[in-house]
Homo-oligomer: A and B are copies of this chain.
Amino acid sequence: MHRPRRLKAPVTREKLIEAAGEIFAEKGLHGTSIRDITQRAGANVASVNYHFHDKFELYAQVLRRAHEGIVAAMSRPLTAKTPEGRFRELITAMLKSALDPSRPKWQTRVLGRELFQPTPVLDLMYDLVRPTAHRLSQTMGEMRPDLSFQQLTLAAAGVVARAVFHVYHGHLVQRMFPAAPEATPDELIEHVVEFSLAALRGLQAPPACGQNHRPRSCRATAKRRANAAHARRVR
């Protein structure tokens, strides 16, 4: 109780998290045994229950570690002047960070699993994606202030879907279109940007508001328009 004497070795902790991350990413929480983990980490079976209370706490730590790694790679400020430029920056940040080979691959996968197998730690996943999604829809709203809120949300969700899907299910695309040459990350980014921009430019705005129908969406749109106008004035 006197002083934190721990000068020696939380190195086992690190090796456990790393090994656990790799195997959890591959086989999931239920498909992974503590003996698998400790064997890969070169540690004893009891080490998991010593350093973490139990298997689930280790799993939670693994997810937290993955979360930190991805957030660190993804939260750079946007510098571009035009909305189009910021849009491109966002897409690039998303995909570059997800595909960055210098970060261990399990960090992306282990979090992606939560999408299908929600454990109590799923909120980390939400916290991870929400700010990016928010910046995305906001940027898109600056480009098309005339679109309805729902149109923007659905469009932004579509862009996120495109990125997430490729990261996690790229192999499926490969198998769906076997004749297609695999796109490089740069080509993919370029395509997502161009595709989305083309769609965004071409989308039809909802009928003018202030009329007799669609009161809810029109109210939201009106507010958004006011906000956009305010932002323009401030800048």
- Residues of A in contact (CB 8 Å), total 58
Contact in complex: A126, B198 (CB < 8 Å): no
Residue of B27, B130, B177, B200 touching A156 (CB-CB under 8 A): B177
Contact in complex: A195, B28 (CB < 8 Å): no
A216 to B180 Cα, complex, angstroms: 12
A78 at the interface (CB under 8 A from B): no
Contact in complex: B187, A195 (CB < 8 Å): no
Contact in complex: B195, A154 (CB < 8 Å): yes
A12 at the interface (CB under 8 A from B): no
A225 at the interface (CB under 8 A from B): no
Question: A129 — which chain B residues lie within 8 A by C-beta?
Answer: 172, 176
Q: How far is the CB of A194 from chain B (nearest CB, A)?
A: 7
Chain A 177-196 interface 0/1 with B at a Cβ cutoff of 8 Å (1 = within)? 10111010001100110111
A228 at the interface (CB under 8 A from B): no
This chain: how many copies in the complex? Answer: 2
Q: How far is the CB of A117 from chain B (nearest CB, A)?
A: 6
Contact in complex: B165, A161 (CB < 8 Å): yes
Partner-binding segment picked from A41-49, A83-91, A97-105, A108-116: A108-116
A contact set with B: CB distance below 8 Å: 27-28, 30-31, 112-113, 115-117, 125-126, 129-130, 133-134, 137, 149-151, 153-158, 160-162, 164-166, 168-169, 172-173, 175-177, 179-181, 183, 187-188, 191-192, 194-204, 216
29 A–B contacts, CB within 8 A, in A order: A28-B28, A28-B116, A112-B116, A113-B116, A115-B172, A116-B116, A116-B168, A126-B175, A126-B176, A137-B177, A150-B180, A150-B183, A151-B191, A153-B180, A154-B188, A154-B191, A155-B195, A156-B177, A157-B173, A161-B166, A161-B169, A162-B162, A165-B165, A181-B216, A194-B204, A198-B200, A198-B202, A199-B202, A201-B202
A-B pairs, top 3 by smallest CB distance, nearest first, are: A198-B202, A199-B199, A161-B165
